[in-house]
A = this chain, B = another copy of it.
C-alpha cells in the first residue's frame, strides 16, 4: 500500500499490503456506503489482488463478485489463487475475509486478447456534452461524493413514501472519479457499480437494498484503455424486473467517443 498526499482516494481505498500468501486491505471512509463500503470499491480491491499477483497473465476480461455479508470498518484479508492457466485465459478465485469469516468471493478471468474479427452492435446513447449539464448533488456523504454524476436522463427524485406504480428506471449519465483520475481497470471496475440501485428509481424512494452478485465484463485491454480519452464516461443503467426481493439490473460504460468499455449485470436484493 503506497501512501502519500498525492494518492487518489480510490487507490488508497483499494491499496493492498502483501502478506506473502495473501493481501491485507482496509475499508475507506471516503467510499463508505450506508452499512458497509461501496461495493464497486470492494470489487476493485478484489480485482487488484489479482492484478498484483505474480504469474498473472493478460488483462481482466471478467470479474464476478458475490457480496456475502456486510464488511465492517477496518482491515480485511484477500486471498487470490489462479486455478487454471490456458493459452489465452487465466481463471482466478478470490476470497475476502474479515475475522476469518467470508465476506465476499470473486472469480476473475484475465486474458491476452487476440486480434480477431470485431463488431460493436450496441450503440452508445446520444448525450449533450458533460460540461453543459449540472453535477448531481446526492446530498449523501461517503462514496457518492467520490463521483461526478451528470444526468442526461433518469436523475433520481427521492420522496419519503415509495411509489406503488413503477417510475422510470433507466438512467443515462456522465460519470467521472472525483477528484479526476485516469481510467484503468481499477476505476472501471468500481465505476461499473456506481449506478444507484434501480429500486430507488422505480419507487422514487430509499428502500433497503444491497447488491448480492454482479458480473462486469471488460471489452478493452490495458493498452487500448490507456490510449482512451480521459473520463467522464457515459453510463447507462436499467432494470429488467423486480420480483420477490430481487431485481435484475444491467449497466454499460462508454467512452466519450462511443466505445463500449464495460458491461455489468447484477442481482440486487431489496425490501418493501
Chain A interface residues toward B at CB < 8 A:
61-62, 64, 66, 68-69, 83-84, 86, 88-89, 91, 93, 95, 101-103, 105, 107, 109, 111, 113-122, 162, 164, 166, 169, 202-203, 212-213, 215, 217, 219-221, 238-246, 248, 250, 252, 260, 263, 265, 267, 269-272
Contact = CB atoms under 8 A, between A and B. Distances in A.
Nearest to A69: B84
A64 B107 contact: yes
B68 A245 contact: no
A243 to B, nearest CB: 5
Contacts of A252: 240
B121 A102 contact: no
How many chain copies does the complex carry? 2
A93 B69 contact: no
B245 A203 contact: no
A41 B183 CA distance: 38
B245 A263 contact: no
A255 to B, nearest CB: 13
Contact of A219 (B62, B120, B243): B243
A105 B83 contact: yes
B215 A240 contact: no
Given A84-B102, A91-B66, A118 B244 contact: yes
Contacts of A103: 84
A242 B86 CA distance: 21
Contacts of A169: 121
A260 B244 contact: no
A203 B64 contact: no
A236 B243 CA distance: 20
A71 to B, nearest CB: 12
Nearest to A246: B61
